[in-house]
Amino acid sequence: MTEVDELRLPGFVAESEVLPPSKGLGLRLLAVLIGLGLLIGASIAGGAVVLTTIWPERAGMCDASAGSCSDLTIVQIASFSDIALTATAEIESAQYGRVDNTGLLYATIVLADGDADPLRGGAYRVSPALPWASEVDDLGLTNVVLYEGVESGYEAASGQRADGRTVILIRVARTI
């Protein structure tokens, strides 16, 4: 039995078949990691560009170029929703954004003590149901009435909190 025969036994690998470690393996690994970093960076930059086109800035509203925003005033909300809100109303929460040519506004407004509910009289149509009415239930309001805009694309709900103040939830999706 020769030494060469012993190396060729089934299940064993001959020394000549074992390759020496590849030179430049560290450089290749570094190149792969840099490539992955560039790919991830390009993806993030591309996502930012897409968000900019989905949520662009609208004149007169807050800067929505980085996504929805909440830097709104009562005057802007009243104008966009076509609801006659008083200057004494408080914004509890508000977000505005834009998708293609549609402006989206979500706002919760609390009227000052003694201010009349602008939805309870006038050209506002009472709605039997709204798809987001469960949000109103979560606030624990009483005397809740749901509304749909006659001319504009708004939906709203108003009711009273335990302290007697009127809360108006506004949802607007309107072509701009």
Of residues 139 and 22, more confidence is placed in 139
**How buried is 61 (Cβ within 10 angstroms: 0-12 exposed, 13-18 middle, 19+ buried)?**
buried
Residue 8 falls inside a structural domain: no
pLDDT tens by residue, 119-143: 887 667 888 878 777 787 788 888 8
If asked whether residues 88 and 130 sit together in one domain, one would say yes
Residue 41 falls inside a structural domain: yes
51 pLDDT more than 50: no
When divided into structural domains, the chain yields a total of: 2
If asked whether residues 36 and 113 sit together in one domain, one would say no
What's the confidence (pLDDT) of residue 81? 83
If asked whether residues 19 and 103 sit together in one domain, one would say no
Nearest by Cα to 176 from 84, 104, 106, 124: 104
Given the structure tokens 């239930």, which residue do they identify?
137
pTM for this structure? 0.59
Secondary element (H or E) of residue 109: strand 102-110
> pLDDT class for 75, splitting at 50, 70, 90?
confident
Instruction: Determine if residue 114 is left, alpha or beta; phi over 0 gives left, psi from -120 to 50 gives alpha, anything else beta.
Output: left
Residue 5 falls inside a structural domain: no
38 pLDDT more than 90: no
If asked whether residues 46 and 81 sit together in one domain, one would say no
Secondary element (H or E) of residue 43: helix 25-54
Residue 129 falls inside a structural domain: yes
If asked whether residues 88 and 149 sit together in one domain, one would say yes
59 pLDDT more than 50: no
Residue 162 domain boundaries: 74-175
Residue ending a domain, among 7, 26, 54, is 54
> pLDDT class for 65, splitting at 50, 70, 90?
very low
Residue 7 falls inside a structural domain: no
Give the whole-angstrom CA distance, residue 133 versus residue 139.
10
If asked whether residues 32 and 93 sit together in one domain, one would say no
Tally helices (H) and strands (E) across the chain.
Answer: 4, 6
